[in-house]
Structure 1
Amino acid sequence: MLIATYDKLLVVVSLLVAILASYTALDMAERINTTASQHGRAARWWLAGGAVAMGLGIWSMHFIGMLAFRLPIALGYDAGITALSLVIAIAVSGFALWIVTRPELPTRRLLGSALFMGIGIACMHYTGMAALRMQPGIAYDLFLFLASVAIAIAASAAALWIAFSLRRNTPHVRAARGGASVVMGIAIFGMHYTGMGAASFSRDSICLSAREGVAPGWLAVLIIVVTLAALTIALLTSVLDARLESRTAKLARSLAAANEELTQMVLHDQLTRLPNRTLLEDRLNQAINKAAREQGHFALMFMDLDGFKAINDSLGHHVGDRLLVEVAQRLTSSSRANDTVARLGGDEFVILVDLNTPEDAMGVAEKLVEAVNQPFKVDQHELRVSASVGIAIYPEDGATRHDLVINADAAMYHTKRSGRNGYHFFEPSMNANAQQQLQWLQDLRVALERGQFRLVYQPKFSLPAGPVLGAEALLRWEHPVHGLVAPDQFIGLAERSGLILPIGAWVLDEACRQMREWFALGYVDWTMSVNLSALQFADPHLLEVVRTTLERHQLPPPCLTLEVTESTAMHDTEASLQTLRQIADLGVEISIDDFGTGYSSLLYLKRLPANELKIDRGFVRELRQDGEDAAIVSAIVALGRTLNLRIVAEGVETVEQQDFLTAAGCDALQGYLMGRPMTPELFLQTMRERHKSAA
């Protein structure tokens, strides 16, 4: 028998090629799996390329191993048979890659595929050995022959399982592939050299391919270079493609996140993160379609926060914004998962509620109102607001989105007019009132621009002699359609809409301008009284408005008296005290208007820097010598005397009232008995005539 030897360098090279081929195969499996889920055509190209690269790697390992094989005779290889062994290697590799990129690899499929692949690899090996064309033929040891086939099948099973397990690009997968490729390479290496060990050659053997086939010398170098180049190119292509795909996926995720954020911005309120008007309209349309299809019901609830504007103006927008966020969270937690809580802007919220029966809306509304009524803690401030809610039921109160919105809004404004802090269901009569209120509001917005407001002046007389002390400025609206409109018909609307602030600033400015004219005529002992609304009193810019107005018209502060109602002064006593003291520090006088109608605390009343108490006209109207109102008036006068305050009674219309109030000790009187509200020209003329008659 001929004694075989091996070139150790080529043996080592064959092992390295087997490991590199195994790593390339594992990486190709991951690329094919990834592209198969996204681009089917690209996956087929990767499968074909992977089969060629993997087959070439396995075949090269086998052929380099054969080139490492040495006999003491000349050797060569038949080109056709060698090419056939390469084709077998590529076909087996393609089958293996196709198997491991299937969605599942059950045990039965794994074993069947391993058997097919192992036999295919054995066929490649022994076909390659047949390319020697030995004469006489190669004799094989049956045990080692079967062992080599068994090793091929076992190695194939291990390779298929490992490739299937590591086909996804997960953390640390490349290190795992490196270790697995070493195991797979050694298995392939062991199968080859076990098969080589099974072969035996008789002493008189000759190689027929030595003369006609390919010589092994330069072929070894060529195969090594070509194989390493092919595997390297395939591996680099796979790695670069994976990186490109990773970057593309990252870019896609970034674009998806940006798109989601953009959608969030477009469809949600930026402050509270609640659905905005656009998203609410979509969900309202969906609710209408669903309810129409199932003949069901739902409620659309409009909510407006009572008292929010005063908080926002007095404590600042940052506190107001924080309060809105707290309200939004409380409304969301008080609602069910399938309900929609949206913010339209400002302090307006809308709640879309799915109902089993229309009556269920009552319980939901009560729960929401109660949730808002609980105090809020914002920046060390304990804040309280209430909720005015209007409810429209589908389909009873509207079958379209427009009708439901209009009717829910009308019901909410009805709640506002009815005292706030509660809810009302829509009734048809509310719509007419809402339309009227909307028209009045639109007219009110342009009244300042078009100069439709006027001031009239009611004189204030001193007792007991009765000289005029000055005047109280009273607002009137010369409406182009409705004529002269009294304040009680529009002041409430102005306060609810916030227009009272610019209107109040105009009243203060016009009253001071008129006072400046009277000062110029010599009436420097007169004073001008101007009423402040609750919103004006809470306005953080009030002091600056008063100061700049006095400076603009060059008036001394004591000639101006600002009248604040008792209920306004006592609403937030500590804040009121601070505001009133700042007004008093300017030198402006303070009058507590409508005294006796609120809930004054004597402890706070004595601390107020007021100069004057005005007895409410309600007590004066029913005044009788022995009546309850007479006792109240006498008590107010006595209290005022104790606190060193001027006492002014308003609404004096009869001589009997005048006599009683004079006897009770009032300092000044106002009323139709002495003088009605008049234009500036008539006021001045009347006062001059009164002065002449008194003289």
Structure 2
Amino acid sequence: MEEKRLQERLRRAVVLIVAAGLLLLAAGEGVAAFLARSMVEVTKDQMRAETDEYKNRLEKQMSSDYQILTTMSGFLEFSNVDEAENFDEILNEANLRNDFVSMAYFPLNGSGVVAVLGQPVRSDVELAEMQPEVQEVVAQAWQGEMALSDLVQSELTQEKIFIYAIPVSRNGDTVGALIASDQVEIFSDILSGDTVLSGNGHIHLLNSKGELLIHSQNSVVEESVASIYEEPYFSGQKAEEIRTALAAGESVYSSFHCEGRSYQALLEPVGIKDWYMLCVSRVQEASGLYRIVTVIAVTFAALLLLMVILLVYGYRLTRRNDRELRDLAFHDALTGGDNLRGFTLKLQEALSQRQDVNLAALDVRQFKFINEIFGRERADKLLRHIHQQLQARLEEGEFCCRDSADLFYAVLLNTDPEQAAARLRNIMDEACAAALQDANSDYHVLLYAGMVAAPQCAASGKVDDVLTHAMFALERAKGASCNSVWTYDTELHKKEEVANFVESHMHQALQNGEFRMYLQPKIDLTSGRLGGAEALVRWTTGTGRMLYPDQFIPLFEQNGFSVSLDLYMVECACKQLRAWLDQGIQPVPLSVNQSKLLFFEADYIQNLERLIERYQIPASWITLEILEGLALENAGELNSRISQLQAIGFRISMDDFGSGYSSLNTLNSLQIDELKLDRGFLMEAADKNDPRSRIIMEQVVRMAKQLGISVVVEGVETRENEALIQSLGCDFGQGYYYSRPITVEEFTARYWGEPKEAPHGPAL
């Protein structure tokens, strides 16, 4: 038996070694192929560099020819020599002094002059007498363009030539065309160098149709062919691919065979007309360099095979311990099921393939006390029991795991979240029913669970996000006293995230000046003019995100940070009033909300006095807005504090009257200067189907006026709202009908235009 097992192990080892050897051999071949490709790339780069060099030479020659013609054109432009009687002699002399085969001048209106080397000068030549290629370039020059012909057979010299043409201008108008021709040999000399690819290549000039314009003397193909689509160059499918590329003006790298040998070919556009350069490399693919690469690859493979032999022992040890490593990596030693790592792999696969995945996180209530009461062994047995119950009640495609301590995860498949939650409750009830029964105890085990429903799982698709959401829901479920399931709520989670951000950043935000003062105007209902403004806070975070008061003010009132923020807003108001004064603007009073916590601070009044003294402004320009709820606890103490503030000069306003426990007795008991009626009060009074509310509002306004209290109405949104509060005798209106809360800069520009720049006041 042991021998069979040993033989089996040896057989496996041999198979593994053979497979590794084949793999390494393939790797060696891959390296060889890589080296061969690298050599091809190097050759291609060299060919491209050589082509660029010869393109530059060709461009320099043509530029030189054009420069000569341009110089003569300039001479003609300013000298009027073309009108001289001996112009034909001048043109002939110019032709003799250059390398051109011929030169000619054709005025826009009239006959031309043609000078050809070795031939008498011809005068009074009609353009129509010249061959079509000459007529074409002259016509282009008459249009003000510099022209160049294709390779043509000259009727005058019976040689292959290129024809240049440039316009001759006078006073900004084209008056003629100056042309010259060069023999094709001048370009052949440029392309027939012996140094192309260190003597291992040559270059031809052709057009986009594949027609060879200049055939290099140092050529692989001895025969003079008219086109690269003739043997032995390119044919068949390769020829069609090259034809398409040349027509599109693209570079092409290819190869062809000639007399049993392979050659590389690079076709590069010249940038002149539709000309291409064909660079051919005579370095053969089957040369000694490639054989060297093959030898290197074989040697490399042999060395790697030797290394495999040395690795066999290590492989056998790895094979022996592989199962143990897998168990450690993906399984939970306590329950025998998956651990979190194994679970997340399955979860990721399920999320990517299904739309009905519900993820649940389960925890045992007060598990630490179970450990203390029953001991570690009993607690571990409980965990194994819960895992077994979960596993037994899962359906096909579902799975679960224990993460750590008493935390479990399970995946349930159902597109209906309510059905999935109901099923999870049943599983929890059954799992807890038999728990700890053998401990002779009446201890009742409870579970709570957080579930991420299928729609949220499908929308997220990320394991980490879904697990985080499940833990968030689990935390929300802890408050119940029975087996409870809390389903993840996206909106609630967003609110929790905002609350966490607010509490963790509020102090730094105050230091960084992220809380900004916005102003909403109060309009005098008698004059229709600006009568004041309410200071409202907005939080613009360092990333540019805007937070509104309802996202952070309630939390600040709970944690006490409203004390610092409210005092900061008073200072912002004082600073702005000072800035207006420094700009030569007559300020309007500003109202600032004050929380209960701040209003009864021991040093509250002293802090306000320091602020108005620091910014040198009258206290009467600041209205402190308080809520009616302050009077419910101790009206006497509140009135005492109000009297102290009024003695300094501050005005006191009761905000949101009519929104809660408002009573007319409040107007009598508090010595306030201003009453702000809540928007809801106005909406009810504006309802024509509810005349009682209007009567009540009318009486409140009348009583306030009799007590000498000014009345401000919030939430004015329409002209009808304004007309109503005017008819009731209110003093000021505030709301979107007049303006939304706006920045201080917008407020200043709107009501006072663009003021001059104010000097810098005290820093906040």
- TM-score, normalised to structure 2, is 0.36
Instruction: Please identify which structure carries the higher helix content.
Output: 1
- TM-score, normalised to structure 1, is 0.39
Q: Which structure is richer in relative contact order (CA contacts within 8 A, separation 6 or more)?
A: 1
